[in-house]
């Protein structure tokens, strides 16, 4: 596959990029930090062995003017793009966000507005070539409003709704939309937080997401146990949700 990844220098995105490189996929990385990108490209070059060079371009979710230029660079190097994957995003605990309005605004803007605008640019590019896969990391936090993730969850709920609508509208045109909904995964983003018993690892997420790229389906919960957890949570009455802290 020819895969473009926004957010491949850290966490789940880095694990996915490494797995794709090891499996022989051609990659083009997008990210905001040129030094991080260069280090990731060198790492992937070792893992991939002889073959086409991994390309990269700077693309910052907080700078919408970088979107089209970065995607055009990816198109020029890869030719046909099979998949665009978006793993980048921001996180803050409920306590951090309530105490810092500027951080709250940034998280809401990046996770929803900026990500949607990037997806729109990617969607247009993929449709001009007849279709492709747009795979975007949202979160189980967006499935249902919960006390510990009121603000972060709202940003992801909006993103999940957008991706759902995109699937409805453009499926017949050849666009395959995958909304990845990770549960708790042990990454730098969750460092310092107490992991639940079923916390996932980035490498596990990478395996499940790459399998979904090969056989696209609209929603991917990872680790898979989170699909059962969120199904149960979605059935709880409002009165119960007011009392529990999950």
Catalytic one among 152, 162, 170, 221? 152
**Three-class SS state of 92:** coil
Q: Is 221 a catalytic residue?
A: no
Place of tokens 């665009």: 84
Cα distances (Å, whole numbers) of residue 110 to 27, 74, 212:
24, 22, 25
Burial class (CB in 10 A: 0-12, 13-18, 19+), 165: exposed
- Measured from the Cβ of residue 214, the count of other Cβ atoms closer than 10 Å reads 11
Cis peptide before 223 (omega within 30 of 0): yes
- How do 83-86 and 2-6 pair as beta strands? parallel
CA-nearest of 220, 221, 124, 218 to 177 is 218
CB 212 within 8 A of CB 180: yes
Q: Which helix (H) or strand (E) holds 175?
A: strand 175-182
CA-nearest of 82, 169, 89 to 129 is 82
CB 218 within 8 A of CB 177: yes
Tokens matching residue 121: 């640019």
Catalytic residues: 152
């Amino acid at each position: 596959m020819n895969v473009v990844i926004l957010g491949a220098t850290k966490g789940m995105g880095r694990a996915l990029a490494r797995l794709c490189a090891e499996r022989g996929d051609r990659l083009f990385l997008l990210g905001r930090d040129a030094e991080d990108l260069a280090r990731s490209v060198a790492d992937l070059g070792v893992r991939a062995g002889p073959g086409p060079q991994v390309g990269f371009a700077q693309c910052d979710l907080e700078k919408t003017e970088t979107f089209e230029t970065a995607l055009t660079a990816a198109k020029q190097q890869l030719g046909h793009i099979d998949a665009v994957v978006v793993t980048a995003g921001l996180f803050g605990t409920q306590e951090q966000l309530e105490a810092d309005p500027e951080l709250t605004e940034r998280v809401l803007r990046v996770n929803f507005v900026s990500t949607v605008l990037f997806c729109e640019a990617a969607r247009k590019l993929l449709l001009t070539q007849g279709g492709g896969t747009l795979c975007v990391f949202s979160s189980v936090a967006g499935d249902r409003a919960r006390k510990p993730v009121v603000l972060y969850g709202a940003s992801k709920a909006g993103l999940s709704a957008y991706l759902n609508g995109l699937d409805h509208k453009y499926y017949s045109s050849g666009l395959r939309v995958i909304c990845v909904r990770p549960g708790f995964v042990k990454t730098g983003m969750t460092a310092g937080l107490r992991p639940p018993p079923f916390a996932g690892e980035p490498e596990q997420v990478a395996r499940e997401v790459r399998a979904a790229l090969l056989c696209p389906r609209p929603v991917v919960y990872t680790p898979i146990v989170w699909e059962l957890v969120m199904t149960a949570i979605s059935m709880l009455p409002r009165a119960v949700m007011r009392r529990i802290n999950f």
